[in-house]
Structure 1
Amino acid sequence: MRTLYVVTHPEATHHVEGIVGGWHDSLLTPAGVRAAVRVARALRAQIPQGAEVELYSSDLRRCRRVADEVAELFGVRPVLDRRLREKSYGEAGGRPQAWLDRRFVPPPAVGERMAHDEGVADAETKAAWARRVYAATEDILRSPYEHQIIVTHGGSLTFLVASWIKMPIESAGYVSFRAASGSITTLREDDFFHNRQVVSLGDTRHLGPEAG
């Protein structure tokens, strides 16, 4: 039995400052740090004592802060992987959200959606974003650990789940798995049928009143 616990980082400074995140290396806010502690405790409560655990994280600081909290409780060292980053918004990263909103070109309702870059210079296309998250997920799944924790970003969660259920990248143009900041998504594969379940998506019960 393999179980993946996918964490979306909690509130970061770019959320409250109204600037574009993406590859902009923002920090967790004080509320985000408190949520990170709750995430770590929730994972510790779910995973059996004595079980071997592997921990992966985006290399951006807002995810690394969460991974550090988890690592301390489990006594493991996080593996940092830049492929688990959020989408790159190119020249928009770190700029005011209003700046991006004035220039943003939404993907077409029909037609080619994976090659779309939202009209922003140096931004990743959806296809490039999906390919790197898929590749990271596939590498993680080559490891034999039964319990794996992945700390990533809200947008990248979509492609991580899509890769988990083996959705072809060329079919991912419309897919979206939404989850709140600081959430835990649980994915499980059984040993007999090797079916891959989405046990829970974007669970925030561990955050208590702050989640609402």
Structure 2
Amino acid sequence: MSTAQPSTGFVPSNRHAVVRSIHVVTHPEATHHVEKVVGGWHDSRLTPAGVRAAVSIAAALRARVPDGAEVEVISSDLRRARRTADETAKSFGVAPIEDRRLRERSYGVAEGRPQEWLDQRFVPPPTVGDRLGHDVGVQGAETTRAVARRVYAAMDDILRRPCEHQIVVTHGGSLTFVVAHWIGMAIESLGQVNFRVASGSITTLREDGYFHNRQVSSLGDTSHLTP
């Protein structure tokens, strides 16, 4: 005879409690955008429009994070990202933490040159084969595997620190690897993955406190930039 008891349907009331939120910001308009030169590790600055967007990003994040919550801001060390992070960090009364591993992909000798110069030399990845290790044909440019490894390493360190709300300021090209790390994708599965978002966007990642499942709550939100 079975001794199994009927299910009560009980689920703890805290199942949806969020134990960690990561707000991933892609820096807004920078001078390399309007000058039509290659970004990468070229240390461009925010434009005046980019600075205004950074202020809007800071206000949006301040509104989303409850008063008194533990917050840290981690940023790429390139000026366009750091300036964005400074606005947000100021609104929370914290100092931003720089991490150069959150930089955009390096395009080697192409950085700071006209975008047209790179376009004429760029070798697109193959449809099949080693897309992660593909050489784009520009001296010093990083492979996708190299970018993924350094961003994953940065995220490993970020997640080792217990913090309720972490704000990560990075670049459009690096955001894919931040999100992929969050959802547990192996680096070798990233050959054809691209989470494309707009400059100045906010992506929200959350982990619940019961199942410890990780969610992508929003991807590339730009509603805070609407005039």
Tell me if TM exceeds 0.5: yes
Give the TM-score range, shorter chain. over 0.9
Specify the code of the residue in structure 2 equivalent to 1:39: I
**Correspondence 1:30 to 2:48:** yes
- Residue 180 of structure 1 aligns to which amino acid in structure 2? A
Instruction: Give the aligned partner of residue 187 of structure 1.
Output: 205
Report the number of matched residues. Answer: 209
Q: Are the aligned partners of 1:7 and 1:183 in contact in 2 as well (CA < 8 Å)?
A: yes
Partner of 2:123: 105
Instruction: Describe the SS at the equivalent of 1:185.
Output: strand
Within-5 A mapping of 1:23-62: 23-62=41-80
Identity of aligned residues (%): 73
> Deviations for 1:104-157, whole angstroms, at most 9, x for unmatched residues?
000000111000131110100110000000010111000100100000000000
Alignment match, 1:164: 182
Q: 1:117, 1:188 → 2: CA distance?
A: 35
Q: Is the 8 A contact 1:57 1:151 kept in 2?
A: yes
Equivalent residues of 1:117, 1:126 under 8 A apart: no
Q: Which structure is larger by alpha-carbon Rg, 1 or 2?
A: 2
With normalisation by structure 1, the TM-score equals 0.98
Segments of 5+ residues of structure 1 without an aligned counterpart are none
Quick one: which of 83, 106, 114 aligns to 1:65?
A: 83
Deviations, residues 146-199 of structure 1 (Å, cap 9, x unaligned): 100000000000000000001000000000001100000000001111110000
Q: Give the partner amino acid of 1:84.
A: L
- For the residues of structure 2 that align with 1:164 and 1:117, how far apart are their CA atoms? 27
User: Equivalences for 1:1-212 in 2 at 5 Å?
Assistant: 1-209=19-227
| Structure number with higher helix proportion | 1
TM-score by length of 2: 0.91
